[in-house]
Structure 1
Amino acid sequence: MRRLLRHPAGLFGAVLIALLVLLALVGPPVWGDAAGRIDAQRISQGASASHLLGTDALGRDLLARTLVATRLTLGLSVLATLIGTLAGVLLGTLPSLLPRAAGRLVVAAVDILVAFPALLLAMFTAVVTGLGAKGAVLGIGAALAPTFARLTHTLTASIARADYIAAARMLRVPRRRVLTRHILPNIAEPLILNTAQAMGSALLGLSAMSFLGMGVQAPGYDWGRLLNEAFGHVYVTPSVVIAPAVAVALAGLGFMLLGDTFAKAAAGPEGPSGPAVVPRPPASEAAPETGAVLEVRDLTVAFPGGITPVRQVSLTVREGEILGLVGESGSGKSMTAAAIGRIVPHPGVVAAARTLLCGTDLDGLTAAQRHKLLGSSLAMVFQDPTSSLNPALRVGGQLTEVATLHDGATTAQARARAVERLDRVHIRRPAQVVRQYPHELSGGMRQRAVIAMGLMGTPRLIIADEPTTALDVTVQREVLKVLREVVDDTRAGALFISHDIAVVGELCDRVAVMYAGRVVEELPAAALRHARHPYTRALIASLPDMDTDRALPLATIPGRQPSPGDVGSGCAFADRCALATRSCSLRPELTARGAGHAVACWEA
């Protein structure tokens, strides 16, 4: 809460709401008599010394009535919000409890209600249930419910396929218990945050209903009712509408600001265990390596809660060279690539002693300069080309965008370059492909198109993050051949990420092996059979070849890799290593063991 209130908008909203709550508590006992005192001598008067904002048609003080009306206005708003929230959550969770056909009917009904104008729905409900405070509260609650139902259904569907939900269903846990024990606790936070904004909407809606004569009825009064009564005199004494109008505006603003700040704070960089903190390593004193397109020293990526998926990784990629980054899933390979490309998802924090791209320190550039350098010198090829290509745009339009934005090329020049780049990656009939949509291409063609997109500029570094995982063996070999040709032709450097050490050994010049966020061995690809780290040797041994005895089970690595938040101070591989000794309780550093060969192991 202290961090939240440091935001000016959140502080302003909190102060407004606190003042309203205070007025709701003290308003009736302090100003109740003045609000109800009739004065026939001062009927419908404007502002004066005795009545700062004027009087109503019975001579009652409008400022006092506005202050007293705070309690009823806030009370009805809270009640309407609770009704809308509870009804919406119930509607949103029904599809998870009902049979599939009935659940679809509920979802369709919610969709129809969401499309219906909220105020009209509230007015219709109020007419059916009866005019007055009760009808207005039920009407506003009914208007809020579809929004909460849609949000609840969306959040429920987003976690319905989680492993723990599947496990509960396999154990025959009743649907109602799955909902209350596993689903609702995990979606409670966004629902609570949305409630603050819904409170503001309820207050404005109730005031509108009372202003239209469908809400609170005389002799009761809320802010909307006061506006209704004063509206007939607004042209004679404009001051009579100031108090209730300002009260409605400030209350609505306060709830909206507070709800918006809550939402931003929940999505911000500070998690339940505080913000991710990565001490910046001291700047590297070693001279930059000549001919290196990428040089990274002591790269670390951290997330709130002590999650550190990348730990002091150092890499060098030279011109015309492909460096393979290999390891099991979860070892930190993709996060390392994201940190180099400055696309680590929020709220991750990246720190490094030095990150040089084409000899330029990325940390020494402004955001605009860094964006320009990365856009022109770095190309990234991701695992799934379907997510890299917009299905609604033609392939040519997506390729030309790179050239027009970063190089200032004309549309004709960019289109000609797109055809040439598609031809370079061996796509047949490139002039026809630029007019096609991604779904009209095969998986291999889409991956080649993504490589061509990266080549639309003049990249000096290509990062390929498992670009062949979803492809069959034949197409995989063709794409790897294209990548090798591109590196040889352009003399760019490439960082090739994979979990397949056989592919890495065939394609790459050097190999860096990652485990639990660290590089544990680096060596030439030709020397993989002479690897010294137990983890690297275990990866190689797990690959079957033509001499593998099919009567025996496939070789595996026992145990599992520790999660990024559970890595201890010793060797992370010790629990799975047959060579582990007492010295492994201390983490070994990456140490040179020959020309181009470094190992982080006490026993290697």
Structure 2
Amino acid sequence: MRRRRPEVLRTPLGIVGITLLVILALLAVLAPLVWGDRATATHTDNMLAGPSPEHWAGTDNLGRDILFRTLVATRLSIVLTLAATIFGVGLGLLLGMAPLLLPRRLGRLVVAFVNVLLGFPSLLMVLFLAVILGVSTTSALLAIGIAIAPPFARLVYALGAGVAERDFVAAARIAGVHPLRIMVRHVLPNIAEPLVVNATVTASSVLLAFGGLSFLGIGVQAPQFDWGRLMQDGLAIIYDNPLAALAPGVAFVLTGLALNLTGEAAAGTFGAKSRIRTTRSLTERRSVSPRSNTRDADTDLVLDVRDLEIAFPGPYGPVSPVRGVSIALRAGEAVGIVGESGSGKSMTALAVAQLVEEPGRVTAERLTFCATDLRSGRRTAHDALLGTSLAVVFQDPMTSLNPVMRLGSQLGEAARRHQGLTRRQASARAADRLRAVHLSDPERRLRQYPHEFSGGMRQRAMIAMGLMGTPRLIVADEPTTALDMTVQRQVLDLLQEIRRKHGTALLLISHDVSVVSSICERVLVMYAGRIVEDLPAADLYTQARHPYTRALIGAVPEMTTDLDAPLATIAGQPVDPRHVPDGCAFAARCPRVTDRCRQEEPTLQAGPAGTVACWHVGDPLPAETKEVAVG
């Protein structure tokens, strides 16, 4: 089969840029070998000669051929440019990644340090450092590298911080992937395109900066010479022989043009096709059995959360989006959490998955998963347990998968780390898991990128990623929101099939009570960070007592809903976690509110079918649920 040309060579810019770079590379290698002696040979009888057939650009004040010197200077000019660029870009990468890897307070110090450096003009910083470090080629290289690092660091941090919040990075954290590996394998490839463009433009600036320092006499020192030093020599005779200064000037222009054109042409494909290979982790990869951490007593209790609270610092005190939540799941049990956006559903799931980062604080009377206390112990042990026994299916499958990695690499990453599988074994396991979630031709799918999948296929792939280990709990956070009804049903049926076949517990988070009631055995209703009702799914429509639960049920259209009437809605707005009122948080929206509701916060108490936090548990239900439940 005919091989396709690299995409960078399919555009005029790429062809011109690559051609110029190849010519410059050949000159850098061959020119000193072919013309080195003629470039340094002095001819005192032919000093300051003008252009001639023997000397196309004339000679300098020692009779040396200016054209040959310009060609020979290509090596030193390019080597110094590349060295300073690599040093500066490498230093910028370290400074830019540090805030994303270090603890929050240390990261802020690094960001502040970079911001201070950005306050100094780059040219002044180069001159200052070059003088302080001493007049030499090495000093100039270090000065330029240090000067270009802060802007590059700022770019890396700004772009990386956005990618670090994506769901596929959270999935990698759940899998226990080392933070440095996450940065190198998941974050940097997704910001490669702007970094490549910036690096090539920076290389052009470095070339000019080095030339400028040499021109001023504080860069390359005799007997070495680069294009900047040749321009300095040519400036003295520019009126007698303009080519003495124009020859190295043209070299500057062509090299800068080559770097910029190549960078622009390559950037469009680099971000989508770059692959950064990392060495295997130095930590020992051990397979962790999910059942090895369980105790004989109550072995079917997968998740036990008691009085969970999450707090973030705010301008007027801590903000608590989750307050006193308790959840218990046993093997094979399906529990749903419903509520409006901002009620604390997803934040609760993040706390279970250990994904609430600083400055967030997670406290609980009990927080155990597979009989392991997640509040204490080594984080590496928790990562190993969560990476094999917990699967998380996020809301948007497109943001849950790394767009620049093939599916096989993403599925196999956690298995290779936690189960000690080889690349071939992990690939076979991944194909088997794709087959288990009913994706056809799994071997071909492993070689594809996420954008080649439909929405339903991507969601199935996310479920398959969770099945790479032996999950005892699947946390599905709005897994069907972005899918059409047909695919939604298929995904829900797949979760049910996995739960029944493997005895896996399921925690389904949704704002749609109809979805939760269709596959869950128990329903938890959350409002303003608290569970306000806990009851069996079979009794949801008939025995729900909390006005908020009734309002959620009433807001779901039915087959008998009058198409000419406005859709039912819940009056008012959800509670702002920063300003939770006294008493019942739902009081301002409740049609049955009393003074007691506004003054005392109700606690969970026994209801007809479960527990409910309401002062009106014993009151009869309204005759028309929807009309009473909504405002």
Q: Please state which band the TM-score falls in when normalised by the shorter chain.
A: 0.5 to 0.7
Q: 1:269 matched to which residue of 2?
A: none
Equivalent of 1:546 in 533, 541, 559: 559
Alignment counterpart, residue 337 of structure 2, candidates 325, 338, 342? 325
Q: Is the 8 A contact 1:288 1:359 kept in 2?
A: no
Which whole-Å CA distance do the structure 1 matches of 2:420 and 2:148 have between them? 49
In the superposition, relative to structure 1, how do residues 423 and 553 fare at CA in structure 2: closer, same or farther (>3 Å)?
same
Q: Quote the Cα distance in structure 1 between the aligned partners of 2:488 and 2:124.
A: 58
- 1:405 aligned counterpart, secondary structure: helix
Secondary structure of the residue aligned to 1:557 is coil
Corresponding position of 1:578? 591
Residue 304 (structure 1) aligned with residue 316 (structure 2): no
| AA at the equivalent of 1:373 | L
- The equivalent residue for 1:385 is 397
CA distance in 1, matches of 2:420, 2:535: 41
Q: Counterpart in 2 of 1:522?
A: 534
Aligned in 2, Cα 1:301/1:492: closer, same or farther, shift over 3 Å?
Answer: same
**1:442 maps to amino acid:** S
- 2:368 aligns with 356
Map of 2:493 onto structure 1 = 481
Shift of residue 570 of structure 1?
1.1
Aligned Cα root-mean-square deviation (Å): 3.5
How far apart are residue 451 of structure 1 and its match?
0.3
1:601 matched residue in structure 2: 614
CA contact (8 A) 1:590 1:599 kept: yes
Q: Give unmatched runs, 5+ long, in structure 1.
A: 1-113, 124-139, 159-204, 215-286
CA contact (8 A) 1:421 1:455 kept: yes
Name the SS for the 2:523 alignment partner. Answer: strand
SS of the aligned residue for 1:416 comes to: helix
Secondary structure of 2:532's partner? Answer: strand
Q: 2:545 touches 2:607 (CA, 8 Å); kept in 1?
A: no
Q: Which amino acid aligns with 1:563?
A: D
Say whether residues 1:563 and 2:572 are aligned partners.
no
Q: Report if aligned partners of 1:520, 1:600 keep a CA contact under 8 Å in 2.
A: yes
Give the C-alpha shift of residue 150 in structure 1: 8.3
Q: 1:516 to 1:210 in 2, by over 3 A?
A: farther
- Please give the residue correspondences for 1:91-240 in structure 2 after superposition, counting only pairs within 5 Å: 118-119=122-123, 147=151
Q: What do the CA deviations read for 1:402-453 (whole angstroms, capped 9, x no partner)?
A: 2111111222221111111111111111121111111111111011001000
Query: How far is 1:292 from its partner?
Result: 1.6
Q: One-letter code of the match for 1:512?
A: L
SS of the counterpart of 1:364? coil
Q: Does 1:591 align with 2:591?
A: no
Distance in 1 (CA, whole Å) between partners of 2:504 and 2:153 is 52
Distance 2:499 2:329 in 1: 12
Q: CA deviation at 1:118?
A: 4.5
Q: What does 1:54-73 align with in structure 2 at a 5 Å threshold?
A: none
How far does the alpha carbon of each residue in 1:334-365 deviate from its partner, in whole angstroms, 9 at most, with x for none? 10000001001331110000011112221232
Q: Supply the AA of the counterpart residue of 1:452.
A: A
2:476–2:506 contact (8 Å) kept in structure 1: yes
SS of equivalent to 1:363: coil
CA 1:421 to 1:567, structure 2 compared with 1: closer, same or farther past 3 Å? same
Deviation (angstroms), 1:531: 0.6
CA–CA separation in structure 2 for the residues paired with 1:149 and 1:301: 32
Q: Are positions 1:444 and 2:453 aligned together?
A: no
Q: 2 CA distance for matches of 1:399 and 1:445? A: 14
- What does 1:292-441 correspond to in 2, within 5 Å? 292-305=301-314, 306-441=318-453
**Counterpart in 1 of 2:469?**
457
Alignment partners' CA distance in 2, 1:479 and 1:313: 28
Deviation at 1:146, TM superposition (A): 11
Q: Deviations over 1:276-307 (max 9, x none)?
A: xxxxxxxxxxx986622111000000000121
Could you report, residue by residue, the CA deviation over 1:138-173 in whole angstroms, capped at 9, with x for unpaired residues?
A: xx9xx899949987xx79xx9xxxxxxxxxxxxxxx
SS at match of 2:402: coil
Q: Deviations over 1:107-153 (max 9, x none)?
A: xxxxxxx9xx9549977xxxxxxxxxxxxxxxx9xx899949987xx
Q: Aligned AA for 1:460?
A: R
Q: Distance in 2 between matches of 1:583 and 1:213?
A: 84
Alpha-carbon deviations, 1:473-507, whole Å to 9, x = none?
11111111111101111101011101111111111
In the superposition, the TM-score normalised over structure 2's length comes to 0.52
- Amino acid of the residue matched to residue 544 of structure 1? P
- d(CA) in 1 for partners of 2:149 and 2:432? 55
| Native 8 Å contact 1:291 1:319 kept in 2 | yes
- Conservation of the 8 A alpha-carbon contact between 1:571 and 1:588: yes
The answer on whether the counterparts of 1:296 and 1:314 sit within 8 Å (CA) in structure 2 is: yes
* Counterpart Cα distance in 2 of 1:436 and 1:483: 24
Question: Residues 510 and 288 (structure 1 numbering): CA distance in 2 closer, same or farther, change over 3 Å?
Answer: farther
Asked if 1:495 is matched to 2:507, the reply is: yes
Relative to the length of structure 1, the TM-score reads 0.54
Question: Which runs of 4 or more aligned residues in structure 1 lie more than 4 Å from their structure 2 counterparts after TM superposition?
Answer: 117-123, 143-151, 208-214, 287-290
Give the deviation of 1:509 after TM superposition: 1.1
Distance 1:489 1:409 in 2: 24
Alpha-carbon separation, structure 1, partners of 2:418 and 2:214? 56
Q: Deviations over 1:38-65 (max 9, x none)?
A: xxxxxxxxxxxxxxxxxxxxxxxxxxxx
Counterpart CA distance in 1 for 2:325 and 2:475 is: 16
Per-residue deviation, 1:554? 1.1
Aligned equivalents of 1:423, 1:333: Cα separation in 2: 31
Distance in 1 of aligned mates of 2:411 and 2:467: 9
Q: Write the distance in 1 (CA, Å) between the matches of 2:356 and 2:334.
A: 23
Partner residue in 2 for 1:510: 522
Unpaired runs of 5+ in structure 2? 1-117, 128-143, 163-208, 219-295, 618-631
The 1-side partners of 2:153 and 2:407 are apart by: 38
User: Contact 2:388 / 2:468 at 8 angstroms: preserved in 1?
Assistant: no
1:581/1:289 Cα in 2 relative to 1: closer, same or farther (>3 Å)?
farther
**Cα distance change, pair 568–424 in 1 and its aligned pair in 2 (3 A):** same
| Alignment CA distance shift 1:501-1:392 (3 Å) | same
Give 1:583's aligned amino acid: R
**Residues in 2 aligned to 1:405 and 1:517: alpha-carbon distance in whole angstroms:** 35
Partner SS state of residue 324, structure 2: strand
Give how far 1:568 is off: 2.4
1:317 Cα deviation after fit: 1.1
- Alpha carbons 1:419, 1:434 under 8 Å: kept: yes
SS in 1 for 2:340: coil
- In structure 2, the residue matched to 1:277 is none
Residues 534 and 577, structure 1, Cα contact 8 Å, conserved in 2:
yes
Determine if contact 2:521/2:536 at 8 Å carries over to the other structure: yes
Give yes or no for contact 1:380–1:463 (8 Å, CA) kept in 2.
Answer: yes
Partner secondary structure for residue 358 of structure 2? coil
Letter aligned with residue 393 of structure 2: V
Which secondary structure does the structure 2 equivalent of 1:436 belong to?
coil
Counterpart CA distance in 1 for 2:154 and 2:602 is 52
